Structures are given as structure tokens and as C-alpha cells.
Amino acid sequence: MLTWHLLRDLDCAQLEEAADGWGAVSNSADAARDSVNAEMTRRLEQSQEGEAAKAAVRRLRQLNENFDYAYAECGLIRTTLNSLAYELRTQQRRLQDALADAAASKLEVRPDGGVVYPAGGKSLSDGSEAPGGVVMGTTSPLAPRPSPDGMLSSERGALLRNTNPNYAVAMGVADRIVRALSEAKRVDERFKQTLGKLKAAPGLKVDASVWTDAAKDAATVRHQAREYLRSDIPEDKSAAEIGAWWQYLTAEQREEYRAVYPDIIGNLDGIPAAVRDEVNRDNLQLLIGKLEGEDSEKAKTQLSGLKEIDHQIAENLDKRLGIGLKPGEQKPPPMYLLGIGDEGRGRAIVSFGNPDKSRNVSAYVPGLGTALDAQFARNDVARARDTAIGAQKYDPSSAAIVWLGYDAPQLGSEAESLVGNGAVMLSADAERGAPAYNSFMAGLAATNDNEDPHLTAIGHSYGSRTVGAATQEAGGIPGADDIILLGSPGVGVDRAEDLGVGKEHVFVGAAENDPVSKLPSKAQAYAGLVTLPMGPTVTRTVGDLFDPGDDDIWFGKDPASEAFGGRRFKVDDGPLPVVDGQGPTPAHSNYFNREKDSVSAANIAAVVSGNPDLLVTESHR
């Protein structure tokens, strides 16, 4: 039974000391996995190769996952204990304030919580001094309580009067004592249940089911820690303000935020890239565990994407160790996971190269049909990797990012097919995604260590419309020096100079056989002046079918046109739709591919690396 004496004398520091102990274990696990990832793998790279190296890497990876789990769970216990201490101390402080007010008013508080008040005031019946008495507090809003003039309102609606002024003071103190005790009991019970869930079975093996359980643990602790930690995260602030907040935190505070709110900290613009990467790798395992326990189509689709990203992180490490490299293949830049989440159609932000250390940084926005799935993890992530590898040939201080931080329209849902009668594609998704993209770009500018980093915004397909929308937000795209538009159906403005970076800094790649870059204008499509057949009747060029002969396309002027005024660079014509046997829009997907379109990939790399003088140009349409 929790009494007011026990709550008054409770030593919350002991709970915090216990939390520190669990924090020390969590930090040790964190240091151990860093040692596995850095020192052990580096030595392995220097001394081993072939099958022996592969076997060692597999064992190290399992060891790393064990440390990862220990870090996560011990961190959750630390925050649970600190949250418990925080909430109990709040109630303890309320109790102590009530006791102090009782002492100041010369009221006695009995062991059972009753408050004794002395005689005072005058009785209404005979004018004598009103007697003292004892009152017991309550948390019920229906119980009779005195008004400032001593009037009592009972739950039966009757009016009573106690003219002793000490009575109302005593009643207020008694209520505060009871409420503090009652809330402290609820806090104790809540955290007892939470701590009871944070247990691991003897002989634990870290596998998918364990991460599913860990995801539930994390969700529970996040809910419990909302008063202790959650309310202080400045999610509505600018990237610069968030960065300053993070730097101001103590090491222990950062550790707690990382352990309990990886879903927020890992996606918060203004947090350093290395921190986001570490936090998101932790959250990746929790998300995989969470979705493993769900059976919806969305969960299955996103799970495939998350697992593929996890696989690519491991493969990236292998190849940087020289494992699995093809003859002539160079080691890839290090992979950073700057964002991950399952909201909407999924979120994923992947960088090749550290964007905080690199002088040149690009952020590519994918387009129509993109979602967090295995295809995104294989194809769009590869485009960022190819861009980074190409840019680093010109300037080693280069990083390239794929940014899936918004819900792109999907074929057959919000946007119908790009081909076919009555094609519909709207700007709403782009306009909703633009603020998030600008926030991310502001974060890149805020955390980059270079005095004047060179930032490039890249939009492919519908992603170019998102980049276009971002330029029209107040202040344009933060920090952007150059803009690259690839396979664009238009960007929402009719002139390159309206994109905010100067028309000489707007670069356009448009393959001759890319139908997306030659869509008719909405007016032409709606008027039925243009049909979009896709089948064996395609025998000449895409332009014969898709370009009605002017510069108007779906979202405004054709970025590849002279009227738009950007700098068009050379790309391969690409395969014809359908007749070349590669699908309806094969040329639309080759811009970043160093094998299928080396000229385009080299031109993109030249711009991203800050070497536009190396660009191979193409005449306007």
C-alpha cells in the first residue's frame, strides 16, 4: 500500500541509478557492435579473402545482431526506469507542495491522509466560533466540495454551508494529497507491466521472432516515455534549430532518444548523417520485426523492400571488404540509411557517401509508381549508387542520395496509367511532397561540414514535378545550386529561370524514345486530339505518336524544349516502346544506368560533382 509517507520519502535517484546501470550495458553493447563493424571488419579486409572471409563475415554479422538486440532492449529498460522516476518525482513534488501548504496553514496531516483543521470563523446558528474537524480527500468530481465562500455543493444538489475558513483550505490540501497518491499508484502499475514485458528467454537466439517482440517492446516504451522524452522533440522546428537542439543534449539524452525514438530521430532533418544512419539501422530491424507480425498486402510489400535494403546494407559491407566483387568492379561508396518508415506507401532515404563530409551532394526524387518495395530497393537505390560512383570519378568528395520521402502516385490508383485513353495524372502528390523534400535539403545544408557545399536536386519522371513544386515553395529548394530533370512530364512552370537557381543551372535529360517526356498536354488529351496507342502499331519513333508538334506537355512546357530554356544534355535514344521487347517505357529507366546509357550517367555525374564544363550537350527539341 502506497502511503503519503512512502511517496514523500521515495528516493527516485535509486531508480535513476538503476537506469544508469542498464544504460552502461546498452552502451557497452553499442561499443561492441562498433568494434565488430569497424575494427574487426577492417582487420578482416586486410588479412582475409575468399571463402574464409565470407564465413568470418557471416559470424561477425550474427555477433553484430546480438549486440544490436542487447543495445536496443537495455536502452529500453534504461528509459523505462528514467520515465518511472520522472513521473513518480512529479507526483512526489505535488505531494510535497500540498504538505508544505498544510504546514503553512497550521493543518495536521494524519497518517491515513486525513487533514485536521482548527476552529475558526462564526457559526450561522448562534455566532459562536465554528468548530474544527477532519476532512478526507477524494478524486471524485461528484463529491461535495466548498466554494470560496464556504458553500458546499453535494452530489444530491442540496446546498450546505461551513463557515470555518480553515475547512476549505483543508479540503483542498486533502484532495491534492489523494490525487498525488492515486496518480503515483497508476504510474507504478503502468511501469510494472511495462518492465514485465522487457524480458528475454534464457538461451536467446536473435531471429525474426525476437525482433517482432522487440518492436512491440519499443512501441510500449515509446508510449510510456511520452511525458519524459517525446514532448521535447522539436519536430516542428527548422533543420538548423533541430541541429542546435541535438548538439545541446547531453550524451545520455541522445542515447535515450536514439534507443526509444529511432523512428523519429532517424528521420529528423538537421540530425547528423552518421547518427541518422546508426539509428535507422536499428529501426530497420524493428520495422522488419513489426511487419513480420502483420498479414496485410501493404505489410508484405513493405517488408520485401525493408529486407532488400537490409540485404543491400550487408552486401555493401561485403563489397567494401572485397567480397563478391565482379572482375573490374570497383568498391562502392559506404551506404548511409538516412530515413526509413512504414507510413503511407513507405519511406526510405539512402545515401552513398557521407553527405555531411562530401563537398558535392545530390538528392534524387523518384517518380510514378515508386513505393517502398523490393523493386525500389533494387532499382532506385542502384541509381543513387551509380550516381555516386560516377561523381566520385570526377571528385572523390561526392555523395548521392535517393529520397523516397513522399507518396508518389501509383499506376491504377490515384493516377491512372500514363498511357491509354483519358490518362489522368495530378500534381497533388508532388505538392504534398515538396515541403518534406525542402526540409530534407535544408537538413543537408545544415549538417554539411563544408563551408559552401554544392547541392544538386534531381527529379526523375514524376519526381521532376515534385522538384518543380519544391522550387515554388517560399525560398525555393534550400541550398540547391543545380537542378537535373530526367524523363520529365513537365515541372509545373514554363521556364527554367522560374526554378530559382538560374536557367544555366537547370540541366535536362530526355531520351528520344521516352514517352513520358513527350506526353501531350492535358488540354490535348482531354480534347481527344491525341491518342496514345501502345502495341504492335508502334513502328517509327515515339515522337510520331506522342508529340503533337508543340512544346506543351502534361505539366507545362517540355523541359527539353528551347522555349523552356534549360541546358539539355546528351542521352541515348533508348529502346522503342513495346516493339523492342522491353516493355512500354524502357527508355524511361536508363538515365542513371552506366551500362545501358553511359553518356547520360556521365553527364549526370559531371553536374553532381560540380563539373558542368564536362557536359556533353544536346540540341533542344
Nearest to 272 by CA among 219, 342, 351, 205: 351
Q: Please list, in sequence order, all residues whose beta carbon lies within 8 angstroms of the beta carbon of residue 311, skipping any fewer than 6 positions away.
A: none
What is the largest distance, in Å, between two alpha-carbon atoms of the chain?
112
Note whether 366 and 463 are within 8 A (CB). yes
pLDDT, tens only, 143-178: 666 654 555 544 333 335 678 889 989 999 999 999
3-state secondary structure 34-78: HHHHHHHHHHHHHHCCCHHHHHHHHHHHHHHHHHHHHHHHHHHHH
Query: How many other β-carbons are positioned within 10 Å of the β-carbon of residue 381?
Result: 22
C-alpha atoms less than 13 angstroms from C-alpha of 593 in its C-beta half-sphere? 13
Instruction: Say what the pLDDT of residue 420 is.
Output: 39
How far is residue 518's CA from residue 179's CA, in Å, rounded to a whole number? Answer: 69
Three cell numbers at 363? 538528392
C-alpha atoms less than 13 angstroms from C-alpha of 470 in its C-beta half-sphere? 30
Give me the helices (H) in 225-328, please: 239-248, 251-260, 262-265, 273-292, 297-320
How far is residue 478's CA from residue 455's CA, in Å, rounded to a whole number? Answer: 9
Nearest to 621 by CA among 538, 539, 565, 555: 565
Q: Which residues does the chain have with pLDDT short of 70?
A: 37-50, 53-54, 141-161, 412-425, 521-550, 578-583
Nearest to 364 by CA among 330, 400, 333, 312: 400
108-109 and 115-117: which strand pairing?
A: antiparallel
- The conformation of residue 156, written as its DSSP 8-state character, comes to T
How far is residue 596's CA from residue 582's CA, in Å, rounded to a whole number? Answer: 13
> What's this model's pTM, rounded to 2 decimal places?
0.84
Which amino acid belongs to residue 143? A
How many whole angstroms from its chain centre is CA 534? Answer: 39
Three cell numbers at 499? 526554378
How far is residue 97's CA from residue 572's CA, in Å, rounded to a whole number? Answer: 76
How many whole angstroms from its chain centre is CA 413? Answer: 25
Helices (H) and strands (E) counted in the chain, each on its own, are 18, 16
How far is residue 7's CA from residue 114's CA, in Å, rounded to a whole number? Answer: 16
Note whether 394 and 606 are within 8 A (CB). yes
How far is residue 418's CA from residue 515's CA, in Å, rounded to a whole number? Answer: 9
Instruction: Say what the pLDDT of residue 41 is.
Output: 60
How far is residue 173's CA from residue 346's CA, in Å, rounded to a whole number? Answer: 52
Instruction: Say what the pLDDT of residue 200 is.
Output: 81
Where b means 16+ CB within 10 Å and e means fewer, 326-347 reads eeeeeebbebbbbbbbbeebbb
Note whether 108 and 35 are within 8 A (CB). no
Three cell numbers at 272? 547528423
Q: Cα dist. 309→289, 389, 610 in Å? A: 14, 19, 29
First to last CA, the chain: 83
How far is residue 89's CA from residue 1's CA, in Å, rounded to a whole number? Answer: 18
Residue 400's beta-bridge partner residues?
352, 362
How far is residue 467's CA from residue 311's CA, in Å, rounded to a whole number? Answer: 29
Note whether 64 and 36 are within 8 A (CB). yes
How far is residue 212's CA from residue 218's CA, in Å, rounded to a whole number? Answer: 10
Note whether 273 and 267 are within 8 A (CB). no
Which amino acid belongs to residue 500? G
- The conformation of residue 509, written as its DSSP 8-state character, comes to E
Note whether 245 and 275 are within 8 A (CB). no
Query: How many other β-carbons are positioned within 10 Å of the β-carbon of residue 207?
Result: 11
Instruction: Say what the pLDDT of residue 45 is.
Output: 56
Looking up cell 543534449 gives 249
Instruction: Say what the pLDDT of residue 579 is.
Output: 58
- For the packed helices 251-260 and 51-104, what is the interaxial angle rounded to 10 degrees? 110
Note whether 443 and 381 are within 8 A (CB). no
**Dihedral pair phi/psi, residue 221, rounded to 5°:** -70, -35
Backbone Cα Rg of the chain: 32
Burial label, 2 (beta-carbon count in 10 A; 0-12, 13-18, 19+): middle
Instruction: Say what the pLDDT of residue 417 is.
Output: 43
Residue 555's beta-bridge partner residues?
none
3-class SS of residue 482 = strand
Looking up cell 572471409 gives 53
